[in-house]
Structure 1
Amino acid sequence: MKKTAKASAHGHDHKHCIEDALAAAEKLCSEKDLRFTPLRRRVLELVWSSHKPVGAYALLDELRNEELGSAPPTVYRALDFLIDNGLIHRIERMNAFVGCSHPGEAHRGFFLICGDCGNAEELHSDGLAESISASANRRGFAARDMTLEVMGTCADCRKA
């Protein structure tokens, strides 16, 4: 895991992604009177250092190198805080975490995951959520929460 944001293989610089995510988190925490501790801030920054989902143990390793905290429960509490407040998402199939591109907004977790480069892109589609809910309702099922993870190949990797 990189400590600083660098341009990806596809030429994307994550510095602005990290800055935007941190600004949104600070604003949200201020509005909700929540503590945005240095550890929570650093975990969010590390999650946003790439568009590739990152596992908790990779975060732990990085934090251990930085002497910010090496206890798994501490990092998991920071991750739980970030998830609970809509700042990151958990990619279940990878047991990893990715930054939320629309923090503070109520929305479903739909992700396009590239099997080649490993990037995960959050997909926003109200129509998709409505279609799934309608299909569930026709079967007498009341959907409360949904996450959709679609594996495939991103446009950049398809061009390469």
Structure 2
Amino acid sequence: MKKPAKAAPAGHAHDHEHCVEDAIAAAEKLCAAKDLRFTPLRRRVLELVWSSHKPVGAYALLDSLRNEDLGSAPPTVYRALDFLIENGLIHRIERMNAFVGCSHPGEAHRGFFLICAECGNAEEIEGDGVSDTIVAAASSRGFTAREMTLEVTGVCSDCKSG
């Protein structure tokens, strides 16, 4: 499966439209493989989430969808977000109550994010060693870890040097 481009740090010029196109292609492929409906609303919500590397809140999505004929009622949009999360196409950034595109759609992985407090970009990173350490620590206490998201806030290199 073709992966969407990794999140670009703030200030780095890149073809962001390519990120959206890759995310849609990955979603179409995943939905076809799982025999899931990739409705126009689900597609549009995924496009909006991938429209930047900054996490986007549900209300911002609702505002964007308000003038479109796809059904912008809050429950409908939340169901689309739930579908995208359940199928590994987006992640929820709890601290911000917002959503960001998954750079590893369809792959079993943990959500680890570096979130810049200055520009607001969120970058998904690989964290197998981190998750192994947490799982081992939990296991030593008789706890079975199921889901894990790690959100690290700080300042990205572009904001630090800018």
Task: Note whether the superposition's TM-score is higher than 0.5.
Answer: yes
| Cα separation, 2, equivalents of 1:69 and 1:158 | 41
| Cα separation, 2, equivalents of 1:159 and 1:19 | 31
Q: 1:60 touches 1:69 (CA, 8 Å); kept in 2? A: no
| Cα separation, 1, equivalents of 2:105 and 2:125 | 14
2:135 to 133, 136, 140: 133
Q: 2:91 touches 2:99 (CA, 8 Å); kept in 1? A: yes
Q: Residue 7 of structure 2 corresponds to which residue in structure 1?
A: none
Letter of the 1:157 counterpart? C
Q: Residue 27 of structure 1 corresponds to which residue in structure 2?
A: 29
Letter of the 1:46 counterpart? L
Q: CA RMSD in A?
A: 1.2
Q: Secondary structure at the match of 2:138?
A: helix
| Cα separation, 2, equivalents of 1:99 and 1:146 | 17
Q: Residue 3 of structure 1 corresponds to which residue in structure 2?
A: none
Tell me by how many angstroms 1:157 deviates. Answer: 1.2
| Cα separation, 1, equivalents of 2:60 and 2:11 | 20
Letter of the 2:65 counterpart? L
Question: So what's the TM-score if we normalise by structure 1?
Answer: 0.92
Q: Residue 4 of structure 1 corresponds to which residue in structure 2?
A: none
- Gaps (5+ residues) in structure 2? 1-9
| Cα separation, 1, equivalents of 2:136 and 2:111 | 17
- Deviating runs (4+, > 6 A) in structure 1? none
| Cα separation, 1, equivalents of 2:101 and 2:94 | 14
Tell me by how many angstroms 1:15 deviates. Answer: 0.6
- Gaps (5+ residues) in structure 1? 1-7
Q: Residue 114 of structure 1 corresponds to which residue in structure 2?
A: 116
| Cα separation, 2, equivalents of 1:153 and 1:41 | 32
Tell me by how many angstroms 1:77 deviates. Answer: 0.5
Q: 1:86 touches 1:104 (CA, 8 Å); kept in 2? A: yes
| Cα separation, 2, equivalents of 1:141 and 1:23 | 38
Please say which of residues 135-144 and 84-93 is displaced more in the overlay.
Answer: 135-144
| Cα separation, 2, equivalents of 1:25 and 1:81 | 11
Question: So what's the TM-score if we normalise by structure 2?
Answer: 0.90
Q: Residue 54 of structure 1 corresponds to which residue in structure 2?
A: 56
Q: 2:114 touches 2:125 (CA, 8 Å); kept in 1? A: yes
Tell me by how many angstroms 1:69 deviates. Answer: 1.9
In the alignment, does 2:88 pair up with 1:86? yes
In the alignment, does 2:101 pair up with 1:99? yes
1:42 to 7, 22, 44: 44
Q: Residue 3 of structure 2 corresponds to which residue in structure 1?
A: none
| Cα separation, 2, equivalents of 1:117 and 1:12 | 17
| Cα separation, 2, equivalents of 1:64 and 1:38 | 15
Considering Cα pairs closer than 8 Å and 6+ residues apart, tell me whether 1 or 2 has the greater RCO: 2
Count of residue pairs brought into register by the alignment: 153
Q: Residue 157 of structure 1 corresponds to which residue in structure 2?
A: 159
